[in-house]
Structure 1
Amino acid sequence: MKLSEIKSKLRSLETIAFQLPNGTLVPNHFHVTEVGKITKNFIDCGGTVRSENVANFQLWEADDYDHRLHPEKLLSIIELSEKVLNIEDLEIEVEYQSDTIGKYGLDFDGTNFLLTSKLTDCLAKDKCGIPEQKPKLKLSELSQEGSCCGPDSGCC
């Protein structure tokens, strides 16, 4: 989800809720402690120089049960961050504390903002020698194709 998308959704909401990938909700007394821009400059394992920019939100749970973050407040924090930090319409990455700081993508289901799982990946598979995975066939598919190792083939 990009900044423009969350801003549009916040304008139509009365409350904000973030849902973790396992279905549980972030406690409603959370705070957004940071909105920023993260630039990552790196070299992948194939030697290609890359750069990545994301808008970053950090969610934090406090023991402050009397305050709730309202959509218009988060919208004003985002707009101030865009102006002061010169943030473009970037994809959003959300940090949230579990056993360690987790990084999540962001989506919306019409009610809740969904923290989506992110995965690591090799960006240079064509250069670093990792073979492309071939589709796996089921044993029943092999015997239907007349494999020499079928039950009546006599090869076993």
Structure 2
Amino acid sequence: MKTQELFTILNDHKDKSLLFQYTAGQIVPANYHITEVKHLKIDSVDCGAQMDSWNETIIQLWESPSEIGKTEFMSCFKALGILNKVGEIKAYDLASEVKFEYSNSLFHTAQLFVNDYEIHGNNLMFNLAIAKTDCKAKELCGVVEPAAATANASQCAPDSGCC
């Protein structure tokens, strides 16, 4: 989901409570706060020596230990107010991918992308998911997808031009 789409959805549902499902059946508790917004510029070089760059918006969610047991979730209106205030200080790249950074005692810190969202009565729920790592230079390095892979284990050998 792009940052602009996030703002549009929040704006369209200002009256709703904002929930996040970070893994199947697990919702970020109501004691969460938006504690940081990161504007990242990624400059990368993949294992095929190809350069790439893009921007990301990372919104950090944190569970306040002093509010454990809280039952009322943050409203979309309040979240939008926080995010708009950040935008007044540091402008967003509205075309950038938005991710949510989250962890708790049972879930490792992760940057989660928005898989989709749902409306349940007075709740707007973003369903978050983890992106698996991947080789961006498969074709250049001669990497075959596992379903079609043969028993040849030397496809990305040290001298193949792929790291």
TM-score bin, normalised by smaller chain: 0.7 to 0.9
For 1:27, the aligned partner's letter is P
Partner of 1:142: none
Asked if 2 retains the 8 angstrom alpha-carbon contact of 1:36 and 1:81, the reply is no
**Structure number having the greater strand percentage:** 2
Partner of 2:38: 36
- C-alpha root-mean-square deviation of aligned residues, in Å? 2.1
Partner of 1:100: 108
Partner of 1:6: 6
1:117 Cα deviation from its structure 2 partner: 2.1
Partner of 2:156: none
Tell which has more relative contact order, 1 or 2 (C-alpha 8 A, sep 6+).
2
Asked if 1 retains the 8 angstrom alpha-carbon contact of 2:99 and 2:111, the reply is yes
Question: CA-to-partner distance for each residue in 1:10-36, whole Å, 9 max, x for gaps?
Answer: 231421111122221110110111112
Q: Which of 75, 78, 91 is residue 83 of structure 2 equivalent to?
A: 78
Q: Which has the larger radius of gyration?
A: 1
* Identical counterparts, % of pairs: 29
1:46 Cα deviation from its structure 2 partner: 0.3
Q: For structure 1, which runs of at least 5 residues remain unmatched after alignment?
A: 137-156
Question: CA-to-partner distance for each residue in 1:24-60, whole Å, 9 max, x for gaps?
Answer: 1110110111112111211100001111211111111
Instruction: Give the alignment's TM-score, normalised by structure 1.
Output: 0.76
Q: For structure 2, which runs of at least 5 residues remain unmatched after alignment?
A: 150-163
Partner of 2:142: 129
Partner of 1:147: none
For 1:100, the aligned partner's letter is H
